[in-house]
Amino acid sequence: MKKHIPNIITLFNLTAGGIAATEAVRGNLENVIWLIIAAALFDFADGLAARALKVKSDIGKELDSLADVVSFGLVPGIVLFHLLKQTPELPHPLMAYIAFLLPAFSAYRLAKFNLDSRQSDSFLGVPTPAMALFFVMIPLASFSGDAGSFMTILMDWLMNSWLALMLLTVLFSILMISEIPLLALKFKNLSWQSNKDRYLMLTGCGALLIFFGVGSMPLIILWYITFSVVISLKK
């Protein structure tokens, strides 16, 4: 029975992603945010459970990728499509469909990840959950901030700039399939020496969360990418 527990958790990820996709189609972007956060927690928990129970299966690996394509590929694509459609002065309505580069490149990244044996202690390219959290949290950063605050002004500008959103779409699509090494939050133990970089990265994330609140996730994702790149260049 225990060998099925990680797969059951993965199915919770897929279920949350499926509901999020429905809410995204309806334009209920605030609901999408919490569903994707739940999906990300399930995605983290299935790997944790597999390591704790010492169970590993090929079907679990494939199932995880299929769930991630929905939760962290399709859903942010739909969210971004809505954001682009709502931007003023979008040159042509069809341009909003560039949003679906995200699920396309997510699928390619996940297929590549499944065949890559190098990504045990670090990731090569931006993980799909990080990309998804960046895009789905943009509305929350705008909704939740105090009027006139830095995050609210920044996210309001981003939500009204079709060019910035399209450039970010292309950038994240490229980053997902790139060979840039990024930290993986896989703790084999809790020692400072073994996990110094992870602890420093998480400290920065915590500082941004405290300073800017729950809407700081887009900045946290950018911090994670920047910190990982700096660390990799030092090695």
Could you confirm whether domain 2-181 is CATH 1.20.120?
Answer: yes
What residue spans define the domains of the chain?
2-181
pTM here is 0.86
Q: Under 8 Å CB-to-CB from 118, ≥6 apart: which residues?
A: 124
User: In this structure, what token pair is assigned to residue 114?
Assistant: 């499944």
Q: Which residue has the tokens 């690996």?
A: 61
Q: Under 8 Å CB-to-CB from 172, ≥6 apart: which residues?
A: 102, 105, 126, 131, 134, 135
Q: Which amino acid is at 15?
A: T
Q: Is the Cβ–Cβ distance between 96 and 81 less than 8 Å? A: yes
Rounded to whole angstroms, how far apart are CA atoms 100 and 169?
A: 9
Length, in residues, of the chain: 235
Which pLDDT tens digits describe the chain residue by residue (235 residues)?
Answer: 777 788 888 999 999 999 999 999 998 888 999 999 999 999 988 887 777 777 777 787 888 889 999 999 999 999 999 999 999 889 999 999 999 999 999 999 998 887 776 655 567 888 999 999 999 988 876 665 554 567 777 777 888 889 999 999 999 999 999 888 888 776 666 666 667 888 888 899 889 888 877 778 888 889 988 888 888 777 6
Question: CA distances (Å), 120 to each of 53, 73, 74, 199, 211, in order?
Answer: 18, 22, 25, 18, 32
